[in-house]
């Protein structure tokens, strides 16, 4: 049931899911507990977004920088992602179209398989698309696009001198999606930290 009585929700919301460590520290808990709480809130945000009629929700779950964290912390986050993706019953029931944005090549084979499965199982849903940014970086996304554009120009598929914004957008992970209207950083930090660099041009 949608909350029609409330003001219209933004079409695309981005969330830089930070502050988990600080949240845990304040309570004398391990960082792991902060991430677990973050993952729980993520599930609530998905439900709320769906209810409010948000069409696209992009969540920064793991950045290209995050590999520098202690191995056990990286493992915990990957495990939470795996768990979420494997729990297909949940997002199928909620009718969510799941997309994973970022470079998957560095993820474990098991996680890559779960990603493929989750995307396929949910691709027919149309109301809410949830982009989970995993091993994602905005600059990396643009560099990846540049590589592919260069390739398509060299084969004659694209004409380098005639490229327009929409052409470039065809090479981004968010192909076909509108730009975010609103980007939320729960910790209160006011930096973009390599999140959706191209797409955030007009975001609040």
Tokens of 66: 């995050």
Q: Is 135 a catalytic residue?
A: no
Pairing mode of beta strands 182-184, 128-136 = unpaired
Least Cβ distance, residue 48 to ligand FPP (angstroms): 15
Q: Which is nearer to ligand FPP, 20 or 171 (CB)?
A: 20
The stretch among 34-42, 94-102, 104-112, 142-150 that binds ligand FPP (CB under 6 A) is 34-42
Task: Check the CA dihedral 17-79-117-135 and report its sign.
Answer: positive
Q: Which is nearer to ligand FPP, 41 or 163 (CB)?
A: 41
Least Cβ distance, residue 168 to ligand FPP (angstroms): 28
Q: How far apart are the first and last CA of the chain?
A: 28
Is 84 one of the binding residues for ligand FPP (CB under 6 A)?
A: yes
Is 172 one of the binding residues for ligand FPP (CB under 6 A)?
A: no
Contact set for ligand FPP, span 10-29 (CB under 6 A): 17-22
Q: Is 18 a catalytic residue?
A: yes
Least Cβ distance, residue 41 to ligand FPP (angstroms): 8
Closest to 118 measured CA to CA, from 139, 89, 147, 140: 89
Largest CA distance in the chain: 59
Report the C-alpha gap between 91 and 94 in whole angstroms.
Answer: 5
3-state secondary structure of 201: coil
Q: Among all residues, which ones are annotated catalytic?
A: 18, 66
Binding stretches for ligand FPP (CB under 6 A): 17-22, 35, 38-39, 42, 59, 61, 66, 77, 80-81, 84, 132, 187
């Amino acid at each position: 049931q949608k909350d029609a009585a409330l003001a219209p929700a933004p079409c695309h919301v981005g969330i830089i899911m930070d502050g988990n460590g600080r949240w845990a520290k304040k309570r004398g808990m391990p960082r792991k507990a902060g991430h677990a709480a973050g993952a729980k809130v993520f599930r609530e945000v998905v439900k709320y977004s769906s209810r409010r009629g948000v069409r696209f929700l992009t969540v920064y779950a793991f950045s290209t920088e995050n590999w520098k964290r202690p191995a056990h912390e990286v493992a915990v986050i990957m495990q939470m992602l795996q768990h979420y993706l494997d729990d297909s019953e949940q997002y199928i029931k909620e009718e969510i179209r799941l997309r994973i944005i970022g470079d998957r090549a560095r993820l474990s084979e098991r996680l890559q398989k779960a990603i493929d499965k989750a995307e396929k199982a949910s691709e027919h849903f149309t109301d809410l698309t949830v982009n989970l940014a995993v091993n994602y970086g905005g600059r990396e996304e643009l560099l990846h696009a540049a590589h592919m554009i260069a390739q398509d120009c060299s084969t004659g598929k694209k004409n380098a001198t005639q490229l327009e914004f929409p052409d470039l957008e065809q090479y981004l992970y968010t192909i076909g999606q509108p730009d975010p209207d609103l980007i939320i950083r729960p910790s209160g930090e006011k930096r973009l930290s390599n999140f959706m660099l191209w797409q955030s041009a007009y975001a609040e």
